[in-house]
Amino acid sequence: MAVTNLPFVQQNMIRYGMSIYFALGLAGNICNCIMFTRPLYRRAPSTVYHLCFSIFAILHLIWSITPQLITLNYPDPQKQLILYCKTRLYGSHVLALYLRYTIAWACMDRFFATRVVFVDFEEYA
Q: Is 125 part of a structural domain of the chain?
A: no
Q: Is 122 part of a structural domain of the chain?
A: no
Q: Is 14 part of a structural domain of the chain?
A: yes
pTM recorded for the entire structure: 0.81
pLDDT in tens, 33-49: 999 999 888 887 788 99
What's the domain range around 41? 7-114
Q: Which residues have CB under 8 Å from 63's CB, separation 6+?
A: 88, 91, 92, 95
Q: Which amino acid is at 9?
A: V
Question: pLDDT value at position 122?
Answer: 67
Q: Is 99 part of a structural domain of the chain?
A: yes
Q: Is 61 part of a structural domain of the chain?
A: yes
Q: Which residues have CB under 8 Å from 37's CB, separation 6+?
A: 51
Number of domains in the chain: 1
